[in-house]
Structure 1
């Protein structure tokens, strides 16, 4: 097996060498930099850098679990409730990723625990569907409403797959006074 891997590796290196030899002296090689690159080089200007929207940077930092970067972005004016094209906020994503520390940080920073995405799923729906009980408990303790329905008319209880999650949500429905009409499972 190792001999086969070695021969594949050698063959790949040889193909790359062949590509480089074909490229040397080709029209592309001889053409040199394009007009924009030549003008930038002549004036000493640096090439423009790609810049991402602050919301995208914020979401990426949250997904990476980088609390320091998230805090810095919030100090710079990032919207803690920024949503992507699907309506997912960083809090939704932290719930899906089972990142309890980021969930806590975002909630403490003012994230809306009841904000729905484009299909009406709240962070509690996400935590319930994934079976993340500690996150669901935390969200409920910080104002998440168990009686919110998504666009399919489903409560967080309806998307829960774990028995312990169902027990937690049923108890909370009674506690929040959402009534027996909400208990349809």
Structure 2
């Protein structure tokens, strides 16, 4: 039995593309847990980086939520949508800014995350707690009207 098969069984997933509680996929669970080797194995077997759960969160969201830099990097390199907004309208960068995760913010920005997308409350990642410490370049256009 392979390490991936064993991990899937221990996590309660009957297969690679199975869904679990709240629609989570094995890739989401591995990203949340910071299981870089499992993430690599899942990606090699064709796990979808674009899949979202019942709340609109993807594997990259979970990796960013927990600050798993190696997993974040691996998912971005595998094509995970870096500016995806979940059902609450928040991107990974916004969540990292709200949680004051400076290294996660920097990694996302270095890989092309858009800092001036707006959450439903009208704030961008630039305006959320923690983002100021990154000294992001000011916008060259008027503030969001909402």
If you compute each CA radius of gyration, which structure gives the higher value, 1 or 2? 1
- In structure 1, stretches of 5+ residues that fail to align are 1-48
Please, which of 88, 100, 106 is the counterpart of residue 131 of structure 1? Answer: 100
- CA offset at residue 113 of structure 1? 1.0
- In structure 2, stretches of 5+ residues that fail to align are 1-11
Between the aligned partners of 2:62 and 2:31, the Cα distance in structure 1 is 8
Q: Greater RCO between the two (CA within 8 Å, min separation 6)?
A: 2
Q: How does 1:145-184 map to 2 (within 5 A)?
A: 145-160=114-129, 162=130, 165-168=131-134, 171-172=136-137, 174=138, 178-182=139-143
SS at match of 1:182: coil
Deviations along 1:25-48, whole A, 9 cap, x unmatched?
xxxxxxxxxxxxxxxxxxxxxxxx
SS at match of 1:166: helix
Counterpart contact for 2:32–2:62, Cα < 8 Å: yes
Please, which of 12, 20, 45 is the counterpart of residue 76 of structure 1? Answer: 45
Q: Count the aligned residue pairs.
A: 128
Q: 1:155 to 1:78 in 2, by over 3 A?
A: same
- With normalisation by structure 2, the TM-score equals 0.76
Counterpart contact for 1:80–1:90, Cα < 8 Å: yes
Report the RMSD for the aligned CA atoms in angstroms. 2.3
- With normalisation by structure 1, the TM-score equals 0.61
Deviations along 1:52-85, whole A, 9 cap, x unmatched?
6166211111122222221221122211122111
